[in-house]
Structure 1
Amino acid sequence: MSTVSLTQLRSEAASMFGRVQRGETLVVLRHGRPIAEISPVAASTPSWKKPALRLVAKGAALSRAILQEREDEDLF
């Protein structure tokens, strides 16, 4: 996070917004006091809403294991 004066922001707006576009957050100061914070726009989809990776278990499927166990019980 960098700080810039309001005067500096006005005179170098293009380069300042370029820094923001590259991911930097700027705090704008007026008379040495923070008045604004300029930060990049958040991603359109939050990470918690993105689909999770599918987990694949190794071995026999649970349904097959249950059916096999039932068949084994019927033999006795």
Structure 2
Amino acid sequence: MQVVSVTEFRARAAEMVDRVQKGETVRILRHGKPVAELVPPQPEVAEPGRVPAWKRPFEPLHIRRADGKSGAQLIIEERASGW
């Protein structure tokens, strides 16, 4: 683990981020006391059986008016009438 002061971190931020990218942890001190730690990101572990909402199958809506026409049919008729 690399331990640096806030001043040193500001001066060498890119280098510190490179260290973290390689798997090292960087602890940042202010007035000798730890105020932050930069750590590599942990891989996200998906819960087994859990599927994100955007991947779940869905049933499309089938809405029909009282006259039996769908929204798509109404649009087609409107376009054909030249409106």
Specify if TM > 0.5.
Answer: yes
RMSD across aligned C-alpha pairs, in angstroms? Answer: 1.7
TM-score using structure 2 length: 0.52
- Counterpart of 1:38 in structure 2 is 38
Q: Find the aligned partners of 2:38 and 2:31 in 1 and give their Cα distance.
A: 18
Higher relative contact order (CA 8 A, sep 6+): 1
The share of aligned pairs that are identical, in percent, is 47
Deviation at 1:37, TM superposition (A): 0.8
Cα deviation 1:16-41 (Å, max 9, x = unaligned): 10000000001100011000111000
- Counterpart of 1:8 in structure 2 is 8
Q: Match of 2:20, as an amino acid?
A: V
Deviation at 1:45, TM superposition (A): 3.0
Q: Find the aligned partners of 1:22 and 1:35 in 2 and give their Cα distance.
A: 22
TM-score using structure 1 length: 0.57
List gaps (5 residues or longer) in structure 1.
50-76
Q: Find the aligned partners of 1:17 and 1:44 in 2 and give their Cα distance.
A: 20
Q: Match of 2:36, as an amino acid?
A: A
Q: Match of 1:34, as an amino acid?
A: P
Greater per-residue helix proportion: 1
List gaps (5 residues or longer) in structure 2.
49-83
1:1-76 equivalence runs, <5 A = 1-45=1-45
